[in-house]
Amino acid sequence: MLDIRFVRENPDAVKENIRKKFQDAKLPLVDEVIEKDAAYRAALSQAETLRAQRNKLSKSIGALMAQGKKEEAEAVKAQVKAQADSLKQLEEESEALGARVREIMMVIPNMIDPSVPIGPDDSCNVEAARFGEPAVPDFPIPYPTEIMEKLHGIALDSARRVAGHGFYYLLGDVARLHEAVLAYARDFMIGKGFTYVIPPFMMHGAVVQGVMSFPEMDAMMYKIEGEDLYLIGTSEHTMIGRFVDQILPEEQLPLTLTSYSPCFRKEKGAHGLEERGVYRIHQFEKQEMIVVCRPEESMDWYEKMWRYSVELFRSLDIPVRRLDCCSGDLADLKVKSCDIEAWSPRQQKYFEVCSCSNLGDAQSRRLKIRVKDAQGKNYLPHTLNNTVVAPPRMLIALLENNLQADGRVRVPEVLRPYMGGKEYLEP
């Protein structure tokens, strides 16, 4: 969410930013919010003036009564009552105007970074770099579900009978590999100086609205019926929500946190048919990295964070590339974002496994997160997030890139301590 003062002072820049995000339907909102904000501030000013006048008149009533000027006192009382009615009307008007201003400000997109490529959708995302040589073996690569089935590591049909599409049971060594990846990712981030956190897996609606845009919320979140609680789609949400309405001492920054959580997503219209039910699912586990920092440091942290993803995947012998997200592919709160994509030997293409985002001060403004500097002044910190690993996508990349011709799956060296020393998973 932008600062309303920025919108007032830079309406043309805000409109141009909307055009760059291919959201022209929102252009009239800029003029409307400026108009409504002016009316809101005028109503507040009038109410303040009227309140001062009423207080002054109220004080004069006692003096008039003491002087025996009863009729004049009664006239002043009537005037005070009339002003009270006017004040109430002004307060209701300002409340309605303020609510509309906030409603509009919640949907005007954040200002994107000048380095973001311009395009309407993800087809315009730009490959920035590759890491590792994408290889295609001289033997056929089956679907990941088939690899897991040969390892007696997955049960899809029984999961569908229990919960429907978008769920599975992981079994045996595949389940163990899943947990090994998460444990390794946890320790990898701790080694980078991040603090390990297990957050709440549900949150209030006000926090949801503070950390994500309305379209994302509708497409992703499961609501608990009859309660003001939502299941998290990613731990970033409750991790940032932890600081709602707080003033943080500047000396604590940067806050570098890595969190584990299950994640729950609607994934409307998709059940991962391209990967036979294990790519887009309703329930999965994830390790996340979150940074809260000074505004001038956020782009440096952005660079560090996506590079951590590359380093981790390469340590698992998985080739990856960085894809810079274009303007039309950025969610409204994001300033800049990139995807880390892993190589799929079976499909002979890359697919998304991590998403690194700099959200500027948008989440801080929505959630009223502030930092007090050495001079005692408050400012809004920047927030960033990035996926560390998210099985099952990580499992898909790991299984395909480490599959052997005889059907065994090589366990990368860094995972072997978490797998009891196993070097291969045997079909």
User: Does some domain include residue 256?
Assistant: yes
User: Does some domain include residue 116?
Assistant: no
> How far is C-alpha 240 from the chain's CA centre?
9
Same domain as 336, residue 253:
yes
User: Does some domain include residue 403?
Assistant: yes
pLDDT (tens digit per residue) in 27-42 = 999 999 999 999 999 9
Same domain as 176, residue 31:
no
pLDDT (tens digit per residue) in 301-346 = 999 999 999 999 999 999 999 999 999 999 999 999 999 999 999 9
CB 381 within 8 A of CB 371: yes
- pLDDT at residue 91, rounded to an integer: 85
Same domain as 335, residue 231:
yes
Nearest Cα residue to 397 out of 347, 343, 358: 343
pLDDT-derived band of residue 271, with 50, 70 and 90 as boundaries?
very low
Same domain as 81, residue 144:
no
pLDDT (tens digit per residue) in 373-423 = 999 999 999 999 999 999 888 999 999 999 999 999 999 999 999 999 999
Query: Is residue 276's pLDDT more than 60?
Result: no
Report angle CA 28, 34, 36 to the nearest 5 degrees: 95
Element (H, E) at 290: strand 283-293
Phi, psi of 260 (to 5 degrees): -105, 145
Count of structural domains, the chain? 2
Structural domain for 150, as ranges? 122-425
- CA 376/CA 343 separation, integer angstroms: 49
CB 401 within 8 A of CB 345: yes
The mean per-residue pLDDT over the stretch 119-130 comes to 96
Provide the Cα torsion 292, 296, 300, 302; round to 10°: 50
- pLDDT at residue 272, rounded to an integer: 46
Same domain as 196, residue 77:
no
pTM score of the predicted model? 0.89
